[in-house]
Amino acid sequence: WLRMKPQLIEVLGDRSLPDPAVLPALPPHASFDAEVARRLQAICVKTPVYGTVSATLAALSPRRVEQYAFCDGPPDEGEFEDVTHLLRIGE
């Protein structure tokens, strides 16, 4: 978990966009243009009207959540907080 968590945070915050040439054509009745469609391909989306607003990381084992981290905001801008303790209430 300690080794993977920073790498996973980096992946969740990736705003890389594909080359427009590799994207399929939009359907004739699409409600957005090709640039918005391209932006929606990012793992962490940001457009003027839509985007990634939070992220979660969880480390699971059989029948148990071992670690749980939450970012209340885009993962490339916010901090992940360890909230595992919230799952342990009543144990």
In the chain, DSSP finds a helix count (H) and a strand count (E) of: 2, 3
Amino acid 63: pLDDT: 87
Residue ranges per domain, the chain?
Answer: 4-87
Tell me what the mean pLDDT of segment 28-37 comes to. 92
Query: For residue range 38-71, what is the model confidence (pLDDT) as tens digits?
Result: 999 999 999 988 999 999 999 999 989 999 999 9
Residue 88 has pLDDT above 90, yes or no: no
- Asked whether 46 and 74 are in contact (CB, 8 A), the reply is yes
Tell me what the mean pLDDT of segment 21-27 comes to. 93
Q: Rounded distance, CA 1 to CA 58, Å?
A: 9
Residue 21 has pLDDT above 90, yes or no: yes
Side-chain half-sphere CA neighbours of 64 within 13 A: 7
